[in-house]
Structure 1
Amino acid sequence: MALVACNVAKTPPQAAAPTAKTEEIKPAAKGGIKKFKDVIGKDAVTDEGVFTIHRVGEKYYYQIPDSLLGRDFLWISRFASLPSGLGGGYVNAGSSVNEQMVEWQKWGEKILLKSKSYGSVAADSLPIYLSVKANNYQPTLYAFDIAALAPDSAGYVIDVTRFLSSDVKAFSGLDADMRKTYKVSRLDDTRSFIYSVKSFPLNLEVKQDFTYDAAEPPTNSATGTLSILMNQSMVLLPKVPMQPRINDYRVGYFTIRQLDYGSEALKADEKTYIRRWQLVPKDIAAYKRGELVEPIKPIVYYLDPATPEKLRPYIKAGVEQWQEAFETAGFKNAILAKYPPTPEEDPDFSPEDVRYSVIRYVASTTRNAVGPSVSDPRSGEIIESDIIWYHNHLRSYRNRYLLETGAANPGARTLDTPMEELGEMMKEVITHEVGHALGLPHNMKASAAYPTDSLRSGPFTQKYGIAATIMDYARYNYVAQPGDPGIRFVRQLGPYDHYAINWGYRYLPDAKSAEAEQPTLSGWINEKSGDPIYQFGSGSGGFDPSSQTEGVGDDVVKASTYGLNNLKVVAKNLYDWTAAQTNDYDDLEELNDELMGVWSRYIGHVVTNVGGVYENRLRPNQPGYKYEAVTANQQKASVDWLLAHAFTSPEWLHQAKISRNVHHASYVDGIRSLQARHLNNLLSPDRMARLMENEINDVPYTALTMVEQLQKGIWNEAYKETSIDIYRRNLQKAYLDRMQYLLNEKPTVSRNGTPVSVSQSDIRSIVRAELVQLQQQLKSSQNRFKDDLSRYHVQDALVRIERILTPKGE
């Protein structure tokens, strides 16, 4: 019994069933189907591969074998090159635009390129299969006339020149929003061309150089032109899909989804499979005995020939560090990194060949690295992966290393970080990106698995690292304090990585179906239940303080306190570690801006505690609740910390030799912007909704409690009647602006935020009542301030409050 995609080929009513043999079509003497030699002449340039490609003058032809009609292909559309700023700067060269399954069908004297989906399926032996097929008819993406028969009469030749030269929406790099944003009117045929077409044994690669007329392009606006280089990859998928592995949301894997209409449930059964490479032991009997066994086909990454020689050992080590985790899954030498072969060693080597996974080294100022992969949408099998490393990325790590560890780590106090230390950072970044290519998403909960103070222990950090997984955004140990001996400051592979790879990749030879694997897989998870080291959290939603980006340790208040103590040491020495050494202010300015960002991150981690809810990924047969609010004491302590460290005047940041050398007049406003951002985050509708929920969950810290505590702290000068400095005056104005927003405007809730109706909740009642109390307090104290600016500020605040409480029109 086969499980077949919903949109299996459906013969058009007016057409006969697809012919089985090419010979049934007779070449026409004139027009229509011609003889092969009349189309593909002696001057044709031919490239053999999955399809044979013929170039005749300026025309391109595909020769499609009969055996590949009806086969499943994966079509990936990517940007090969693009203008700066396209997509708001969130799109890079190599970014995938679209992935879709396609198949080539013959219909009469035409070859059709059809879209195909495995999103809805049913076994072909079930009656409902007919309905699934009929109600999910696949679109035709393009229709080609058959130009000629293949010489051996076992295939068809089609002219693809117009197709590859056209702006076909299904494969275009410009979506509807981009076309609207940049006011794209048309593809200019006179300035567009087919850049290259190459065929390999399992894939076909096309590059298209497209130029559009665009009234408002992202760059070079005077030209009215937008040019992109698109890469179209067509990959032949295995004839028999790999046995999939059913996802369990308690372990982190990238997934594919299907709707199975053949389910016995009273609805279509949604099945989710993990994305992973297929690893099968060479010796299954030895594997079952518990011996380490090599896979029949290991995962192999080749280094880009453009990779600098000095970096190659670190990249190779980053890939092969995963061998440790695969050994936990029973495999030896499961993943390998190889230096690029010479033409003599492998004349067929090409990074574009889907048989080769490559770590590409890109000459770009982008500070990033990514680990995309191509997977079979029928089973989740990862077919190929190209890790992308952008040249300038190490600069980001050098900067963060200095800022986050410089207080406790003498080796980080320089712009000339030793190559050995940079190499260790690069190795771990590569390991992280390869983790994505193995199917592992970010696990932001792993950084909260270790007690915060354990990160000050040399033996602990050297053995366990700074987070339970390399897949967390826990780059550096900013908790360790000056004088702590033997500390590891850079992340590394952790125990969760061994656990996740074993769960996803261990071969189960006795399980003949995905369903048969589930008892074993679920049992492994239950064995680790309750151990924070083996928990998974995506960090999405922004409400779980134990699942945050860039954090380390299980106590965010303690970790941020340690981090801030270190940052104050770095700020005091930043000039001496940069400008004093280089006799230049550029690095000082860059690092000073990033230092502000680090301070902001420490603040943000504590903000998440307020209205925070821990997400525990549990099944109903496990004890506890999926969602558990942060305790009242923790929330109150977090607001106290914010009032003391985020909303006070940061005198420690103001150093004349920095501020007066990197900008002429933006320091005060920079502080205002940062503090206002976190204040607005605290007073956001979705956070207040979670705080209001505390009232019914017996957590005695509510939205009213938070606003009372926050208001008294931000306006404490009104109670103490001390002068109000410029930072505090700006902060207090930001507070009034936010209250105005909550009371009189229509606040929007972020897409992933907690839903709340502001007008029908307690939010406006709380805001109005607190503003009235603040108004009374300011009236009673306004004349006691000795300095003019404090007095004028309070007078202005009273006017603002009155306008908020009684806006025009009421």
Structure 2
Amino acid sequence: MNMTVLARLLTLSIRLLASGGSKLLIMLLVTTPGAFAQGHFKNYFEKKFPQDTVDIHSGMFTTYTHSDKYYWEIPVKLFGADILVTKTALKAAAQAERPTDGLYGFANDMVEEGVIRFVKSGNRIDCLEVFNGISNTPKDSELTSLYRQKNNSGRYLSIPILEEKPEAVLIDVSNLLNQETLFTGLALRHGRDFNISICHPEFSSILEIGSNREDILFIRSQRAYEPSRIPSEIPNAMNVRELTMWQIGTALTLLPRTPLSFRKWDPRVEYFSNTYQKCDNNIYTTTIKVAKRWRLEPRPEDFERYEAGELVVPIKPIIFYVDRQTPEYLRQAFIEAVDSWQKAFEQAGFKNAIKGEMMPAHKSDPEFSIDDPRISIISYNVSPRMNARGGIITDPRSGEILSGRVSIFHSFLDLIQQWYYCQCAQVDPRIHEEIIPDTLLARIAKFVVTHEVGHSLGLCHNFIGSSAYTVEQLRTPDFVAKYGTTPSIMDYTRFNYIAQPEDKMDSKLLSPNVGIYDCFAIEWGYRYYRHHANSDSLLKEWVTQQQEQRELRFANNSGIDPEVQSEDLSNDLLAANALGIENLKYMKSNEPLWRSGEWANRQIWINRQSWMEIQYNNFLTQAILYIGGINTLTQQPIPIRKQLDAIEFINKYAFSSPEWLFGNHRRTSSFYQEIIRSLIQRCEYVQNSSERYPNNTISIKEYITVLHQTIFDRHQTDRSREILQEVFCKSVLDAMKNSDSQYMKMLWRCELENILDEARQKHFNPQHGQRITDYIKFCMGK
């Protein structure tokens, strides 16, 4: 709207007021010079409210407001159009407690509600919720189209038409917006996630409605909710249910007329996915799994250059905006985390396809709204939750990713400091300090954000990535500088704990980064095919060829393969973790030199001790996975020698006086209980493996025998070993009692009889042997 038109409108308004007549004063909500509210139903409101003011708000639907009454002018051209409904917490309530995962309920959190259509039915407008489980491909059969017509939507509500014109219809949506509905409420479908329940309308209201674009409408409201759970720490909590106040932004977004073409999901390059059903051959049984991905396409004039291998700029690059609540020292690291994916998109043929930017200053960019589901944001949330999350908003019809929503929780900074200390203190003296430099913290935070952005690009965790490289390679700076610490940052990889002081590894090389698998996966998801008909077969053949390269393989963490687990590193886990444990011993022995002795910093070292114990346990439990393990790539059991090596590893690094870390026998006993429990739980895996591969793996009898020989080693007679043996006896008794297998009960009973027999033969210290004998006999009722 130019200034001349605005001046004429203001003049007209003044004349109307001065006339004192019964004409209606229509006020336009002009948010920007481009506002376009026209209003085809002014005459209707002149008659209905002759003495009152009615505001007109522009947007996808022109909205008329009068007091607490709201009316939508729905253009005829939008009848049957697909509209995505999303909700965003513009301002979130502070909560003493959150749901178990604690990942939702913060400002900038966005959730999908689904797709709706407005359809004219006689003298009413039906709002339909669209069922998107049916394929939208061009080759759909006639039966698919028929099924969609009859079954793909449910009527959410039906509203009478107040007045109708060739261009549009007018409906009253007051009840729709003033009550807890799909268009305003957050508790109906997301109450558990946000810890809210009953809405109190007397404290709720519409704050703003409209937009300056014809493809979206924003409805911003204040809502008052009771919490779904009462904080446990509040005295007399049964009588306390204080209201929580929220500002919620609902966006109605017009989806593209043509959905993104499907890319069939491939388990060898796993993306998040949607599953659709097809009606083929008159039978409603066929399903198709589709990867969730962004719409990244060359400009039409660049098609030939793109297909010739030249890098081109996509029509719509991916932009992630960094929350201005992010501390200053972290902002550039977060931007660089986004930019680090650029090389992956270059492999897919695009340059400048993704970038990070700071969120625009308040109202400096009228096109920017955090409740717009097409805008990607990296939010910084103040929370005790030590985590981060990479979410996506999608078009349910096709799996097209419309935006990414990355949430970084403040306390994750403490988490990554602990990881870095436990894994890199042997090579980076800066982490010896009680307060580490901001520059270091920003650098190690970058990889977490990079990982979460990967999720927002559609990528799933690839737990096999970190086991691709050898220990020697990961100790070689030139190799790490070229290939990184892992082929995939989408693994649960932390830092390079294999690096040793003599390796002279630059600290910049200790963190993971976007690797060759990640580039391969992005190319699979985003390589553009102008002619889509044969793209799936081309991609399938291409992936098959690439699978010959170990670094380009994908695997989920199944709990049976020692090379496919979280927080591991290298293709020789036992050698790598031996170095990791030696690092912990180095840290523990030098801790007195690093501590300042100031009382205020005492908690820092208490926390570091706790995390060293967690890291130590991780090193050991990772090794235990070899026992009864299966290689997921070859579908063969882990070699017997490797399983026995794992037991010897546990004997050397867990069973041989771990007081260097725990300090006393009481805490050592608790530690042994966890390790023995894990070893006994592996019996199920050993038995399953031996039944499936009877000639290629250890049997359950052999496993129990090796455990016995290891734990009751006559050359180990210190008090720590006695505690281990006592814990083992108790654990075997528990296993015998709780097992559902009569065969296992028999094996455990035989093991206990064997221990009693050795005690009678005085293989143990007399007092220790008597304690074991008395306890076993008492529990067995002898």
Contact 2:298 2:312 in 1 (8 A): yes
Once the two structures are superposed, the pairs formed by residues 672-711 of structure 1 within 5 Å of their partners are 672-684=669-681, 688-697=684-693, 698-711=695-708
In structure 1, C-alpha distance between the alignment counterparts of 2:566 and 2:261, rounded to whole Å = 34
**Post-superposition shift, 1:554?**
0.9
Aligned position for 2:732: 739
Return the alpha-carbon distance in structure 1 between the equivalents of residues 188 and 176 of structure 2: 19
Matched, 1:600 2:633: no
Kept in 2, the 8 Å contact 1:328–1:502? The answer is yes
SS of match in other structure, 1:699: coil
Alignment partner of 1:644 is 2:652 = yes
The residue aligned with 1:794 is 772
From 505, 511, 514, the equivalent of 1:490 is 511
Deviation at 1:605, TM superposition (A): 1.0
Partner Cα distance (1:674, 1:135) in 2: 61
CA contact (8 A) 2:126 2:155 kept: yes
Check 1:97–1:336 CA distance in 2 against 1; reply closer, same or farther (3 A cut): closer
Question: Aligned partner of 1:759: which letter?
Answer: S
Kept after mapping to 2: 8 A contact 1:643/1:710? no
Q: CA deviation at 1:578?
A: 4.2
Taking a change above 3 Å as real, the CA distance of residues 130 and 501 of structure 1, as seen in their structure-2 partners, is: closer
| SS of residue in 2 equivalent to 1:683 | helix
* Paired position in structure 2 for 1:785: 765
Alignment of 1:502-651 (within 5 A): 502-509=523-530, 511-513=531-533, 516-539=534-557, 541-580=558-597, 583-616=600-633, 625=634, 627-651=635-659
Relative distance call for 1:379 and 1:586 in structure 2 (3 A) is: same
1:499 to 496, 520, 540: 520
Greater mean alpha carbon deviation, residues 60-69 or residues 417-426? 60-69
1:765 aligns with 2:746: yes
- Determine whether 1:246 maps to 2:241: no
- Counterpart in the other structure of 2:24: none
- Alignment map for 1:298-377 (pairs within 5 Å): 298-342=317-361, 346-377=365-396
Aligned partner of 1:128 in structure 2 is: 143
Of residues 77, 83, 89, the one that matches 1:67 is 77
Cα distance in 2 for partners of 1:355, 1:780 equals 76
Which residues of structure 1 form unaligned runs of 5+? 1-25, 617-624, 656-666, 748-757
1:159 aligns with 2:173: yes
1:82 Cα deviation from its structure 2 partner? 6.3
1:302 touches 1:358 (CA, 8 Å); kept in 2?
A: yes
- Secondary structure of the structure 2 residue equivalent to 1:544: coil
CA 61–420 in structure 1, closer or farther in 2 if over 3 Å, else same? same
Deviation at 1:174, TM superposition (A): 7.1
Root mean square deviation, CA, Å: 3.6
Offset, 1:78 = 6.2
Distance 1:119 1:170, change over 3 A: farther
The C-alpha deviation readout for 1:442-499, integer Å capped at 9, x for no partner, is: 1111000111221111111111111111211212001112221234211112111111
The 3 A distance-change label for structure 1 pair 689 and 305 is closer
Could you tell me which amino acid in structure 1 is paired with residue 154 of structure 2? P
Tell me the equivalent position of 2:413.
Answer: 394
Structure 1 partner of 2:290: 273
Encode CA deviations 1:762-800: one digit per residue, 9 max, x unaligned: 433322322232233234438x625x5x35632443235
Counterpart Cα distance in 2 of 1:171 and 1:344: 26
Q: How far is the alpha carbon of 1:207 from its aligned partner?
A: 4.9
Q: What is the alpha-carbon distance in structure 2 between the residues aligned to residue 192 and residue 733 of structure 1?
A: 63
Q: How does 1:71-470 map to 2 (within 5 A)?
A: 71-76=81-86, 80-81=92-93, 83-94=95-106, 99-121=113-135, 126=141, 128-129=143-144, 132-133=147-148, 136=151, 138-141=153-156, 143-146=157-160, 148-149=162-163, 154-161=168-175, 165-166=179-180, 173=187, 187-190=199-202, 199=211, 201=213, 202=216, 204-207=218-221, 209-212=223-226, 216=230, 220=234, 221-225=237-241, 227=243, 229=246, 232-262=250-280, 268-282=285-299, 283-342=302-361, 346-470=365-489
Structure 1 position 643, deviation (Å):
2.3
CA deviation after TM superposition for structure 1 residue 362, in Å: 2.5
User: How far 1:233 sits from its partner (Å)?
Assistant: 4.5
Distance 1:780 1:309, change over 3 A: same
| 3-state DSSP of counterpart to 1:91 | coil
Separation in structure 2 between the aligned mates of residue 104 and residue 793 of structure 1, nearest angstrom: 78
Is the 8 Å Cα contact of residues 198 and 204 (structure 1) preserved in structure 2? yes
- Which residues of structure 2 form unaligned runs of 5+? 1-39
In 2 relative to 1, CA 262–563 (structure 1 residues): closer, same or farther, beyond 3 Å?
Answer: same
Instruction: Find the aligned partners of 1:200 and 1:81 in 2 and give their Cα distance.
Output: 28
Instruction: Provide the rounded CA distance (Å) in 2 between the counterparts of 1:381 and 1:610.
Output: 42
Letter aligned with residue 546 of structure 1: E
Deviation at 1:218, TM superposition (A): 5.3
Q: Structure 1, residues 496-548: CA drift from partner, whole Å, max 9, x if none?
A: 11111111111122x333xx112321232122223221011122x22221111
Q: 2:393, 2:401 within 8 Å by CA — same for their partners in 1?
A: yes
SS in 1 for 2:343: helix
Q: Which amino acid aligns with 1:279?
A: L
Give the distance between the partners of 2:703 and 2:126, measured in 1 at CA: 63
What is the TM-score with the length of structure 1 in the denominator? 0.81
Deviates more, 1:103-112 or 1:702-711: 103-112
Total equivalences in the alignment: 726
- Structure 1 residue 395, shift from structure 2 partner: 2.5
Q: Give the C-alpha shift of residue 291 in structure 1.
A: 1.0
Distance in 2, matches of 1:40 and 1:785, equals 102
SS of alignment partner, residue 127 of structure 2: strand
Measured in 2, the distance between the counterparts of 1:227 and 1:536 equals 47
Asked if 2 retains the 8 angstrom alpha-carbon contact of 1:692 and 1:703, the reply is: no
Per the alignment, do residues 497 and 196 of structure 1 end up closer, same or farther by CA in structure 2, a change over 3 Å counting? same
1:106 to 1:290, Cα distance in 2 relative to 1, 3 A: same
Shift of 1:295: 0.8
How far apart are residue 642 of structure 1 and its match? 1.4
Identical counterparts, % of pairs: 25
Q: Is contact 1:51-1:199 (8 Å) kept? A: no
Q: CA deviation at 1:146?
A: 3.3
Question: What secondary structure does 1:139 align onto?
Answer: strand
Distance in 1 between residues matched to 2:645 and 2:474, nearest whole Å: 22
1:46 is displaced (CA, Å) by: 4.6
Q: Is the 8 A contact 1:256 1:272 kept in 2?
A: yes
Structure 1 residues 683-717: Cα deviation after superposition (integer angstroms, max 9, x where no partner): 227x514533324412231222222222333344x
- After TM superposition, give the deviation of residue 175 of structure 1 in Å: 7.0
2:601 aligned partner, one-letter code: D
Distance 2:449 2:233 in 1: 32
Q: Is the 8 A contact 2:659 2:665 kept in 1?
A: no
Distance 1:166 1:633 in 2: 64
* Greater displacement, 455-464 / 220-229: 220-229
Alpha-carbon distance in 1 for matches of 2:139, 2:124:
27
State the AA in 2 paired with 1:49: G
Distance 2:243 2:710 in 1: 54
Instruction: Report the TM-score, using the length of structure 2 for normalisation.
Output: 0.84
**Match of 2:762, SS?**
helix
TM-superposed CA distance for 1:107, in Å, is: 3.6
Of 150-159 and 524-533, the range deviating more from structure 2: 150-159
Say whether 1:722 aligns with 2:717. yes
SS in 1 for 2:597: helix
